[in-house]
């Protein structure tokens, strides 16, 4: 994985990306199990960072991102081998709920591998590709995404990938921020959890 940064501090492994899509189980009187989901999904990232003096001070005085406002950062990429060499736009409009979108492929070459995080210019939701997309000699290829489109996209909408794919997030308030010292040496500013803002 490439090096990614949170507020100027390098993100360290292990790094967790969770797809939170609540589902509910119910057991009937006849002992059948039924599952239901509302079809909503968000990404949650958990990681530690390389400690910096500024990050530690900000975390201790509560300036590490206001908890009631959103911030953005580059969405870390899981897939390797992305060779798309230019900007990509949507070729044909797609409605909310679609699981694939047709992209403009006439001026683009390269491979967008399965597992790449992407987003569309007109809304903040981050998606992941579910199949490889080859642009070379392919006219207007389809990109398959998960979850289904949260908002409709119009033709000519910019399609963001790599460093242009930024996640909009809230910082979790479930765990207090602090620091850990080991043998008198600053070791860790704690675990940071980011929740995708929808």
Same domain, yes or no, for 63 and 101? no
Q: What is the tally of structural domains in the chain? A: 2
Share of the chain above pLDDT 70, in %: 84
3-state secondary structure of 162: helix
Same domain, yes or no, for 103 and 133? yes
Same domain, yes or no, for 69 and 15? yes
pTM attached to this predicted model: 0.84
Structural domain of 160 = 78-164
Q: Output 182 or 3, whichever has higher pLDDT.
A: 3
Q: What does 118-135 look like in DSSP terms, one character per residue?
A: EEETTS--EEEESS-EE-
CATH code assigned at 111: 2.40.30.290
Same domain, yes or no, for 96 and 150? yes
pLDDT of amino acid 1: 60
> Which of 141, 135, 20, 16 lies closest to 78 in space, CA to CA?
16
52-57 LR contacts (CB < 8 Å, sep 24+): 52/8, 52/9, 54/8, 55/7, 55/8, 55/9, 55/189, 56/179, 56/186, 56/189
Query: pLDDT by residue (tens digit) across 123-164?
Result: 999 999 999 998 887 788 999 999 999 999 999 999 999 889
Same domain, yes or no, for 49 and 127? no
- What is the pLDDT confidence band of residue 41, given thresholds at 50, 70 and 90? very high
Same domain, yes or no, for 82 and 159? yes
Same domain, yes or no, for 12 and 50? yes
Among 26-30, 35-39, 171-175, which range has the highest average pLDDT?
26-30
């Amino acid at each position: 994985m490439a090096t990614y940064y949170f507020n100027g501090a390098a993100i360290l492994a292990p790094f967790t990306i969770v797809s939170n899509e609540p589902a509910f189980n119910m057991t009937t009187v006849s002992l059948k199990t039924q599952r239901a989901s509302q079809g909503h999904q968000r990404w949650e990232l958990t990681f530690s960072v390389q400690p910096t003096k500024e990050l530690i001070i900000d975390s201790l005085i509560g300036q590490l991102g206001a908890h009631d406002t959103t911030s953005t950062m580059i969405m870390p990429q899981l897939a390797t081998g992305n060779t798309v060499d230019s900007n990509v736009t949507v070729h044909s409009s797609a409605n909310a709920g679609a699981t694939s979108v047709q992209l403009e492929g006439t001026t683009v070459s390269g491979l967008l591998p399965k597992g790449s995080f992407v987003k569309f210019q007109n809304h903040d939701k981050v998606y992941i590709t579910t199949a490889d997309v080859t642009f070379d000699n392919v006219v207007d290829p389809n990109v398959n995404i998960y979850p289904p489109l949260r908002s409709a996209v119009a033709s000519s909408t910019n399609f963001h990938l790599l460093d242009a794919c930024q996640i909009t997030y809230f910082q979790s308030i479930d765990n207090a921020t602090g620091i850990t010292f080991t043998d008198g040496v600053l070791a860790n500013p704690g675990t940071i959890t980011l929740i995708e803002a929808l």
